[in-house]
Amino acid sequence: MGESTQRQSPGPGTTWKHTSWILLTAQYTTFVLLAHYSRVMPPSGGKRYLTSTAVFFNEVVKLGISLTVALYEVSRSAPPSVPATSLLSSLITAVFSGDSWKLAIPASLYTLANSLQYLALSNLQAATFQVSYQLKIVVSSVFGLVLLKRSISLRKWVLLVLLLVGVGLVQVPAGSSDEFSLENAAAHFDFPRSLEEWKSVQLEGRSLHKRSATYEGIEEDMLTAIPRLNGAVGVFATLGACAASGLAGIYFEKVLRDSAKQTSLWVRNVQLAVYSIFPALFIGVVFLDGEKIANGGLFDGYNWVVWSTILVQAVGGLAASFSTGSAHTDTKNIASATSIIFTSFGSIWLFEFEPTLTYFIGTFAVLVATYLCENPSSGSIQAKHQGLRPPPIRVYRYEKESKSDVTSPVSPSPKEISIKLPTTPFLSDAGISTSRPTSPGITRASNSRTGSSGYF
């Protein structure tokens, strides 16, 4: 009765698994829908925000959260009288000591993947991106085979091929052209050639802001108000994001495995955020978009949607660091498969997405492959290691008499040669006297040379 009750009651591990599955599903779905909406919604103030600044603020938010929790962990193990400056200095020492420099590679790859995700969601529908982004499983499996020496079973190879076929079917264009606009009228829009036409365009609610007297400025205004989705650019950006994110995850797991010192994951998150800020700031913000930021400002085009997208992406990045390893693969795969369904319904309802027959077939193939595909099962690996483990050592308990000629409780085998040295009066037990305390289980022999415990 007690055993059945114990089996039916879920443990804390099962509860955390279900909770993490729900949180990951919500994060995947919310980020994709918000990021796509932030790229196609009417621009705030007539200007659209720069994705390089969003990636930079994403790393800043992750650094703030990780630094706060890491300081709290350090303060718990320190005495109450330790000042805050000492706690901060000890945390800085932990962040920049040991093998922290190895995390510069995955941090840069994560930054590149985040930038490519914004580019992909600016040119693909949210549902199409979510299905295509599952190619990350293929990339992670290949890099896990190369870097972590994992084995890929035949069943998983078949599922990976099914995943590739499903993503290919989803990318089949619905029309004759890959490039299309959110509104049919935007594809054949005539430039206003007079002040009356310009006023009529503004009255239609297109929110155009003339930046120059040239037609290039007018075209820039129209593309800002009514963005066009380029499928080819979106597909290549998705492939690049999958490659960068998959390699970063496997390399981060390799660093955690090869590290000789046990380091908190919050400290690792601080390291990732610190090394990610440098490429996001100097390459994205300063080098690529420095001129636009100097003219319009760092927060140009920001609103609550953009800030919500940054916050959700930062939380997802922190959750990804705690979901490394094959133990969390099932949870991540179930969350990814569920988010595909929710994202598809959200795209149909919010963005008037019209799925085709090839989309349904490809999505179903990706769902099956994502749900069933997993990293090398830990159970088979553990069984393999247990098969190679030597048999346990068995210790036989026996009592040895003080004046017994038996030297071993196990009788010698016929192939063994046993040599017994002849006993002498000097090697006998009766002649041994020592001042050391008696060993447990062995009777101490008395001195037989003299009865008065003396030599004379």
12 domain residue, yes or no: no
293 domain residue, yes or no: yes
The CA distance from 154 to 29, in Å, is 31
First and final CA of the chain: distance in angstroms? 77
Number of domain units in the chain: 1
DSSP state of 287: I
160 domain residue, yes or no: yes
176 domain residue, yes or no: yes
Structure tokens at 319: 């959750």
53 domain residue, yes or no: yes
Q: Residue 326: how many CB atoms within 10 A of its CB?
A: 16
Q: Report residue 95 CA to chain centroid gap.
A: 19
pLDDT per residue rounded down to tens, the chain (456 residues): 444 444 444 444 556 566 778 888 999 999 999 999 999 988 877 788 999 999 999 999 999 999 999 888 888 877 877 787 888 888 888 888 878 889 999 999 999 999 999 999 999 999 999 999 999 999 999 999 999 888 889 999 999 999 999 999 998 876 544 444 444 434 444 445 455 554 554 444 444 444 544 555 555 555 555 678 898 999 999 999 999 999 999 999 898 888 888 888 888 989 999 999 999 999 999 999 999 999 888 998 899 999 999 999 998 888 777 766 554 567 788 888 999 999 999 999 999 899 999 999 999 999 999 988 764 443 343 334 444 444 455 555 544 444 445 444 444 455 555 455 555 444 444 444 455 555 555 555 544 444 444 433
DSSP state of 132: H
84 domain residue, yes or no: yes
Q: What is the pTM of this model?
A: 0.71
Name the E strands within 194-263.
228-230
Could you tell me the residue range of the domain that residue 365 belongs to? 27-192+231-379
The CA distance from 369 to 373, in Å, is 5
395 domain residue, yes or no: no
165 domain residue, yes or no: yes
User: CA-based diameter of the chain, in Å?
Assistant: 135
